[in-house]
Structure 1
Amino acid sequence: MNKFENGFMLGASTAAHQVEGNNTNSDYWLMENMEYSQFVEPSLDAVDHYNRYEEDIKMLADAGLNTYRFSVEWARIEPEQGKFDEKEIEHYRKMIKCCRDNGVEPVITLMHFTSPVWLIKLGGWDNEQVVELFANYARFVTEQLGSEIKYICTINEANMRLQIGALMERFKKQMMAKMANAAKSSGDSMEGQVQVGLNLSDPMEKMKLAAMENAKVFGDPQPHTFVSATDANGDMIVIKAHQAAKEAIKAVNPDIQVGITLSLHDCQYIEGGKERADSDWNEEFSHYIPYIKDDDFFGLQNYTRTTYGPDGIVPVPEGTPMTQMDYEVYPEALEHVIRRVHEEMPNVPIMVTENGIATADDKQRVEFIDKAIEGVQSCINDGIPVIGYCHWSLIDNFEWQKGYALTFGLCAVDRKTQIRAPKPSLKHLGGYLK
């Protein structure tokens, strides 16, 4: 095992809503508890990380890891517009202290998909007002916690809204084709084309009823949450929010390292597919470069590859190993994406903020980690400034619309008792540090 040099940040990631439990003021909480919800189950207590974070952080440190990337929940900190909850900010202060006490570097994410309900009622992430509102929130968090942290990710997977927009366009075309009896049975799962847990199995009638319920709850049949489809204008709002938050953070503490994270596929192609592959890579990454090239670091998130042909995305060949998320098992993708990002944005250090595999077989997870880490180390040996690797995820958790069935974690949880059971992969990952 080739080990990382001292100073390399090696750890694991979580997101508040997926692990804390009872985030009752968030948009997701309302949506997952609706009668006609597209969620297969509600989050409820999740894995009770809100109360058990000390145990979880100590578990991470005891395995040999030195970094924990987690998100602070906007809906907890600002449950009503302009009203900040001192008790909740104190909770995250205690989490940061717990990290420090255990020799763990905390990496904070300000926005990991979930938003306060009040924000969505104002028009959510398609309302320009969100730029100022997010900056205000970022400023408050930095004023309260900024002396205790070195790294902040403003927005998790800022390109997710565009990715979902493209996916939904393909979904609509597929549904229309099926209604016209023109669809071919390819066995291709569209849910595996974005790196977030989506459920596209609901019948159209249920979707209509859900839209009616959304109108009652949010005042809009299609509320503009962060994980809803958008266009180029909505995409630019997200980027403006990142830039405004960065400015607010730096005004309070210029020493904090600020970056953004993007969801990136390894865009490969066969004959006739290069133009489409390049176009999708531009949408996923390249068009953001002018807005993030001066950031302190870049948060790179990758799980798999996408292959393009003359007719678009090429279905994965039958018999190819697949994850529980319907991604192709392809850990080599991480190295490819790191190299491509560095080639196009050479002056920004890269932190791998998410990379992992949804599987019930922990031996497969260990093999995935080994191959992914081998790729990271190859990049470092070639002089690419990769400063950290955070595996997704520390704990099996609530995978959004997919619920609890998918297991990404380095640690299992009995959700009846909330008892933790670290998997061999956790200590294996920690073994890569000297």
Structure 2
Amino acid sequence: MTSPAPGPSSFPPGFRWGTASSATQSQGATPADNWWAWEEAGKAPRSGGGNGFDELYASDFRLLADWGFGEYRMSLDWARIEPSPGRRDQGAVEHYREILRAGRRAGLSMWACLLHTALPAWFAADGGFLAPAAAATWARHVDFAAEAFGDLVDGWMPVNNPAGYAEKAYLRGTFPPGHASQEEFLTVLQAVHEAEFEAALRLRQTGKPTSTNEALVSLHPADASAEAAGATALIDAVLWGTWLNLARTPRYEDAFDQYGFSYYFAAAVDPSANLLPHPAGHPVGPQGYAPWAPGLGEVLARLHTELPGRKFLVAEIGLGGEDDTRRTAYLSDALEEVRRALAGGMDITGVHLWTGVDNYEWLDGHTVPFGLFDRDRTPKPSAHLIRSFLRG
């Protein structure tokens, strides 16, 4: 049963509404990154020019601002900026600077992500985050980004979904380099989380706020067995414990001004540690999971308990597929969960929707749209739902 849609007045003054995108998904892959080779090898559909953002960014920003959005999170593609070790492409740097300027001219606060899935081909060839020199190489890039873009960035989100990246690239092997090694997965997961937290320490020196974007799932044992409970606890320790342990260390306890996260689904864990759609019988979407809004409420409640007194950002929520009626209902229910958390005293600074304009969806190409607007920039019914909050 669908919850009644919360009214615009349910959200406090100053609550921030934004959308998010990534370079590869909106601009398309570049020969300088490892996703390009993945496409060339036939392991993913061609991204082409993404959704045309490279040409349409200024009008996209005006559209979003006119609709009522106040924030936009984009990624500054490391491969485009540094196509070979130590050589920065000044044309790419200036192009990103102009994109940031255009967003700010439109009235948007611009948040920048420095790593969203695709890696420079040369960095990947050296072993990526498994390489001994990875931390130092990453730190140099972070420092360069702070210097090159810090005057135009309003907030930093250093790494997008570390757990999602590590799992797809090193456990399931569906993203480059296509490995399926539990040992490598755990090593990369720890390394990328540390890269995320170290980057935040460096980026805070620009005077701009920092946010995580953790991929979080509400986990439930699939049955009443001790084996299912144990498997759930194991996955929980990896998915939640890896970054929470860092957040609680003295070195990193003030690295982030807020803790942001992406939520797309809850999962049941069977005795063999397989993730299954949850709740059982709930409709499953085209990517194999069951979008379930109450799971967002469970994630929010846990964060409020795990990190008391901190600020939070719902950094990504969305629903993929052609059925925008379902998307509209899901977003209405999800925003009701956010409203409840706010009413319960949780300090949530805002919500970023994934995504504004339909874009390239990695292994699904353009077949699983998430946008509030289609690639012709025509608003869908879900966009009108969101506008009722933006103009409330």
The one-letter code of the counterpart of 2:7 is N
2:3 corresponding residue in structure 1: none
3-state DSSP class of the match of 2:142? helix
1:265 aligns with 2:217: yes
1:243 aligns with 2:197: yes
1:232 aligns with 2:193: no
CA contact (8 A) 2:219 2:266 kept: yes
C-alpha distance after superposition, 1:132-174 (max 9, x if no partner): 1111111111112212223111111111244347853xx9xxx
The one-letter code of the counterpart of 1:15 is S
CA contact (8 A) 1:10 1:430 kept: no
1:217 corresponding residue in structure 2: none
3-state DSSP class of the match of 1:285? helix
1:329 aligns with 2:334: no
Q: How does 1:60-209 map to 2 (within 5 A)?
A: 60-164=64-168, 168=172, 198=174
Q: For the structure 1 residues 57 and 229, does the alpha-carbon distance in structure 2 shift closer, same or farther, using more than 3 Å as the test? A: farther
Q: 1:393 Cα deviation (Å)?
A: 1.3
The count of corresponding residues between Structure 1 and Structure 2 is 373
Equivalent of 1:299 in 238, 256, 260: 260
Q: For the structure 1 residues 2 and 228, does the alpha-carbon distance in structure 2 shift closer, same or farther, using more than 3 Å as the test? A: farther
3-state DSSP class of the match of 2:110? strand
The one-letter code of the counterpart of 2:140 is N
2:386 corresponding residue in structure 1: 429
The one-letter code of the counterpart of 1:397 is N
Q: For the structure 1 residues 135 and 369, does the alpha-carbon distance in structure 2 shift closer, same or farther, using more than 3 Å as the test? A: same
1:32 aligns with 2:39: yes
The one-letter code of the counterpart of 2:188 is G
Q: 1:315 Cα deviation (Å)?
A: 4.3
The one-letter code of the counterpart of 1:146 is G
The one-letter code of the counterpart of 2:282 is T
3-state DSSP class of the match of 2:300? helix
1:20 aligns with 2:24: no
1:10 aligns with 2:17: yes
Distance 2:302 2:357 in 1: 30
Distance 2:32 2:347 in 1: 39
For normalisation by structure 2, the TM-score amounts to 0.88
CA contact (8 A) 2:170 2:177 kept: no
Distance 1:377 1:65 in 2: 18
3-state DSSP class of the match of 1:299? strand
1:406 aligns with 2:368: yes
The one-letter code of the counterpart of 2:238 is E
Identity of aligned residues (%): 24
CA contact (8 A) 1:165 1:229 kept: no
Q: For the structure 1 residues 431 and 102, does the alpha-carbon distance in structure 2 shift closer, same or farther, using more than 3 Å as the test? A: farther
CA contact (8 A) 2:359 2:369 kept: yes
Q: For the structure 1 residues 80 and 162, does the alpha-carbon distance in structure 2 shift closer, same or farther, using more than 3 Å as the test? A: closer
Q: For the structure 1 residues 231 and 324, does the alpha-carbon distance in structure 2 shift closer, same or farther, using more than 3 Å as the test? A: closer
CA contact (8 A) 1:163 1:284 kept: no
Q: 1:48 Cα deviation (Å)?
A: 1.4
Q: 1:77 Cα deviation (Å)?
A: 0.9
The one-letter code of the counterpart of 2:187 is N
Distance 2:149 2:363 in 1: 31
Distance 1:51 1:164 in 2: 30
**Over aligned residue pairs, what C-alpha RMSD do you find?**
2.4
3-state DSSP class of the match of 1:237? helix
CA contact (8 A) 1:259 1:297 kept: yes
Unaligned runs of at least 5 residues, structure 1:
172-197, 200-221, 414-418
1:192 corresponding residue in structure 2: none
Equivalent of 1:288 in 243, 247, 268: 243
Of residues 98-107 and 331-340 in structure 1, the stretch that sits farther from structure 2 once superposed is 98-107
1:308 corresponding residue in structure 2: 269
Q: 1:6 Cα deviation (Å)?
A: 2.5
